Amino acid sequence: MKKTKKRSFVVIGLGMFGGTVAPALAQMGDDVLGVDIDEGLVRKYANRLTHTAILDARDEVALREAGVGNFDVAIVAIGENLEANILASMNVKALGIKEIWVKAQSLTHHKILLRIGVTKIIHPERDMGLQVAETLHTPYVTDYINLGSDQYLVSFILQEDMLTQGLDKFVSKNDSGACLVGAMRGDKFIDFTNIIDITTETGDRLLAIGTKEQLRKLSGLL
Ligand code: ATP
What pLDDT digit, counting tens, does each position of 71-127 carry? 999 999 999 999 999 999 999 999 999 999 999 999 999 999 999 999 999 999 888
Task: Please tell me if the CB atom of residue 22 comes closer than 6 angstroms to any atom of ligand 1.
Answer: no
Q: For position 4, what pLDDT does the model report? A: 60
pLDDT 10s digits, 4-61:
668 999 999 999 999 999 999 999 999 999 999 999 999 999 999 999 999 999 999 9
- Output the pTM of the full model: 0.77
pLDDT: which is higher, 61 or 142: 61
CB of 80 shorter than 6 A to ligand 1: yes
**pLDDT value at residue 12:** 98
pLDDT in tens, 173-197: 778 888 888 888 888 888 877 665 6
Q: Distance, CA 6 to ligand 1 centroid (Å)?
A: 27
pLDDT of residue 38: 98
What's the gap in Å between 12 CA and the centre of ligand 1?
8
Range name among 92-96, 198-202, 207-211 with the lowest pLDDT average: 198-202
The pLDDT assigned to 161 comes to 66
Q: DSSP labels for the chain?
A: -PPPPP-EEEEE--STTHHHHHHHHHHTT-EEEEEES-HHHHHHHTTTSSEEEE--TT-HHHHHHTTGGG-SEEEE---S-HHHHHHHHHHHHHTT-SEEEEE--SHHHHHHHHHHT-SEEE-HHHHHHHHHHHHHHSTTEEEEEEEETTEEEEEEEPPHHHHHH-HHHHHHT--SSPEEEEEEETTEEEE-TTGGG----TT-EEEEEE-HHHHHHHHHH-
pLDDT at 2 over 60: no
